[in-house]
Structure formats: C-alpha cells, structure tokens
Amino acid sequence: MLGRGWTLPLPAAVGGVAGGVLLVYGDRYLEARGTTGAPEAVVPVLVALLFGAAFLIALLAALAARWRPAVSALPVPPASGTIAWLLASAGVAVVALGSVRVGVPGEPSFAPALATTVAALLAAGGLASFARYARTLADASRPYAVVARLGEIAVDAADRRYPPRLPADAPETPPLRLGRVVAAPRTGYVVSVDVPRLVADARRASAVVAAPAVGAFVVRGEPLLQAFGQDGKPLPRRVVGGVRIADVRDTREDVAFDLGLLSDIAVGAVATEPGVAEAALDRIGEVLARLGPRPFPHGRFADARGDVRVVQPVPGWPRLVEIALSDVALRGAADPRVRERLSALVEALRRRVGPERAAVLAAYAPGAAFPAEVERRVPVVDADRR
C-alpha cells in the first residue's frame, strides 16, 4: 500500500520545500513591514509538526504491514493522498525551522509566522485525510461492506466483459497450422488481454492468435500466445505486452473470479453469519440477473476486413452459474434462511432468462437443489463447538 502510488507524495514533498522557501521570503517581506512572530513560540510548533508527520507516516506503514482486507483480491484504497499532505507539511516546516533566528545581543530575531501557519494547515489536512483513510480501512474490514463493494465491482466487470450488445458474429476460424509460440514472461494469473492490439499484430502477421482467458494461470516459459497461419510470418515479439499477468486475479476484469469470491463469502458465513451469506447471494443474483438476458461473447475477434484474428475462451452462462451457485447450494442447504434466499434467487432468474438458460438453473431450483440427502450430508455446524 505504501510501496506504490508515490507519484503524488514525491511532488508534494518537493512542492512543500519550494513553497516553504517562497513563504519564508514572504515572511521576510512582512518582517520588513514590521509584522513578524516570536521565535520562542514558532520553534515548538514546527518541531511538533515534523514529529507528528513522521509519526503518522510510520503509523500508515504499520497499518500497511498489519492490515489485511477481508478479501485480499479487493482493491486497497491508496494512502498516497494522506502521505502527500503530510510530506508537504513537513517540507514547509523543515524550511521554516531552518530560517528561525533566535535573537541574541547584536543580532535580530526572525520567526516565519506565515510559513508556520501554512505548515500547520497542511498538517491539519493530513490529519483529516488520515482519519478518513483509517475509517475506510475499518469499513472495508466489515463483512457486509466487503460484500457490497465486491458486488459493485462484479456488476461493473459484468457490464464491461458482457455488454448488452455485441458486434456482428465473426466467422468460424478456418483450419490453420501452428506458427510461433510466445512464452509467458512470468508466472501468475492473466488479468487482462489487449484484444485490439492483438488483432492489429495478428493482421500484420497474417495470423490468428489464440489468447488465454482472463483469469487463467500461466507458468513462466510455458505457452502464453499461439499464432496460427499459412504464410509463416512471425508474430511480433512485442505482442506479449498485450497480455498483463499479475500475482492475484483482478476483480475489476474477471467476472468469474468475482462470483467465486461472493460464493466463498456466502459459504463461509453460513454457519456463523447467515445474514452475510444472504447479502452475498443477493449480490450474486444481481450479477446473474444482468447477464442472464444478454448475449454472451463468442470469443472470436475479427479485423476491419472481417477476418478472424484472435480467439479467446470466454466463460459462458453454465460455467458462471456453476461458479456462483454450486457450492452455496451444497453448503448452504443446512440453513433455512440461505436455502430460502437461494430458492427465491433461482426462481427470479428463471423468469428473466430464456428456456435454454433456465434449464441450467433447474439443478438449483426448489426440490432439486435441496434434497434430503444433501441436508444429511451437510449437517448444521454448531458455532459454539468450532
């Protein structure tokens, strides 16, 4: 959290020092006009501001080391804004403190009252930002807040990955022979694929590129992209830059991952917090309700001439429903509240989708998803004995 996002704090620190110099010149001007402060009063204030900024930055570092979100894959709000306020205040305070002159016999005293005031105001802004940041972390650790935030991210991801309208269906990919294989530069999860870039590169190479699915796990040195073609042109090496790999799947791009996380939350909360499980099911229902009536991408992307250039696996309706509901139907069968909420969710979805997709939901419908055998196989957990 503190190791990234320094594009704002570093300029703030430099700006604080530069602003401090200008403010000290302003104090010199005010002194020449007979307006100045008392050095004995300014020095303790500036020292307190410096120590306070250092303490709050150290506290932010401690929070970054110790605090873990309830769902590690959720984006963590950056602390860069708070650090920027504190560093700007410290920069002004350092310059102001260096300009203080305590009066001795034969030498005039000087106290940068204007610079001290500005440093104190910046510190107050940093303290307010720190309080907001701490409250954000506290809210992010509450299960209901986690479910709500994850649900919002899942809806946004669903709207991007499965838009209500799709381009014209691309033709089927013709039979091709394997050309060049691009190896994965690192081990991790595919979090995004720049399809337009791949289409352009594949068009120039007169090839068809097989791209990995978003969320796929790849190993360094193993095939990441495969180019198929007839004329033998090599796929540009920079094409690997169109695939971004990270250590953790991205909730903002991976709808299947989001649904899996909501399912995990629901399953984990069945025994101890059924209300959280119900909230997670509500969010799952919101995402599936948006996806149910929509056409699903075919995973074939063509260039301007209509030739297929990129093929990529895309999770379909059966797979997304399985990820979202299968574990909840099994593990949540023992709790009446969760069972009732899941039944209502399935019935609402079956009324929104066509017959083919409604058939996928049949396994989770009342009387099918909760047979007596399932309830005996998944007994109610006694929370007091855990």
Separation between Cα atoms, residue 266 and residue 333, nearest integer Å:
12
Residue 232 within any structural domain of the chain: no
Which of the residue ranges 95-104, 276-285, 336-345 has the most confident prediction, judged by mean pLDDT?
A: 276-285
The 10s digit of each residue's pLDDT in 22-70 is 998 888 888 776 656 677 788 888 899 999 999 998 888 777 666 665 5
Q: Is the pLDDT of residue 2 over 60?
A: no
Instruction: Give the phi and the psi of residue 89 in degrees, each rounded to 5.
Output: -65, -45
Residue 110 within any structural domain of the chain: yes
With CA atoms as reference, report the closest residue to 194 among 217, 225, 222: 225
Check if the beta carbon of residue 199 is closer than 8 Å to that of residue 309: yes
The 10s digit of each residue's pLDDT in 311-362 is 888 899 999 999 999 888 888 777 888 888 888 899 999 988 989 999 998 8
Separation between Cα atoms, residue 156 and residue 162, nearest integer Å:
10
Residue 63 within any structural domain of the chain: yes
The 10s digit of each residue's pLDDT in 171-181 is 555 555 566 77
Residue 200 within any structural domain of the chain: no
CB atoms within 10 A of CB 127: 17
What Cα–Cα distance (Å) separates residue 148 from each residue in 72, 159, 291? 15, 17, 18
Residue 75 confidence class, pLDDT cut points 50, 70, 90: low
The 10s digit of each residue's pLDDT in 180-236 is 778 888 899 999 888 888 888 888 877 888 889 999 999 998 888 888 775 556 666
Q: 368: helix, coil or strand?
A: coil
Residue 80 within any structural domain of the chain: yes
> Over the chain, what is the mean pLDDT?
80
Taking the CA atoms of the chain, what radius of gyration do you get in angstroms?
A: 29
Q: What is the DSSP code (8-state) at residue 227?
A: E
Residue 135 within any structural domain of the chain: yes
Q: Is the pLDDT of residue 147 over 70?
A: yes
Check if the beta carbon of residue 335 is closer than 8 Å to that of residue 277: yes
| Least confident residue range of 213-227, 243-257, 258-272, 371-385 | 371-385
Q: Is the pLDDT of residue 384 over 60?
A: no
Kindly state the greatest CA–CA separation across the chain.
97
> What is the tally of structural domains in the chain?
1
Q: Determine how β-strand 308-311 pairs with β-strand 207-210.
A: parallel
Domain range for residue 47?
A: 9-141
Check if the beta carbon of residue 110 is closer than 8 Å to that of residue 73: no
Residue 13 within any structural domain of the chain: yes
Q: 78: helix, coil or strand?
A: coil
Q: Which two tokens stand for residue 141?
A: 């650790």
DSSP 123-177: HHHHHHHHHHHHHHHHHHTSHHHHHHHHHHHHHHHHHHHS-SS-PPPPPPPPP-E
| CA-based torsion, 72, 75, 77, 80: positive or negative | positive
Check if the beta carbon of residue 325 is closer than 8 Å to that of residue 277: no
Angle between helices 143-161 and 274-291 (to 10 degrees): 10
Element (H, E) at 182: strand 177-183
Q: Is the pLDDT of residue 285 over 90?
A: yes
Residue 16 within any structural domain of the chain: yes
The pLDDT value given to residue 79: 80
Residue written as token pair 């075919």: 298
Q: How many helices (H) and strands (E) does the chain have?
A: 12, 8
The pLDDT value given to residue 378: 38
Q: What is the DSSP code (8-state) at residue 101?
A: B
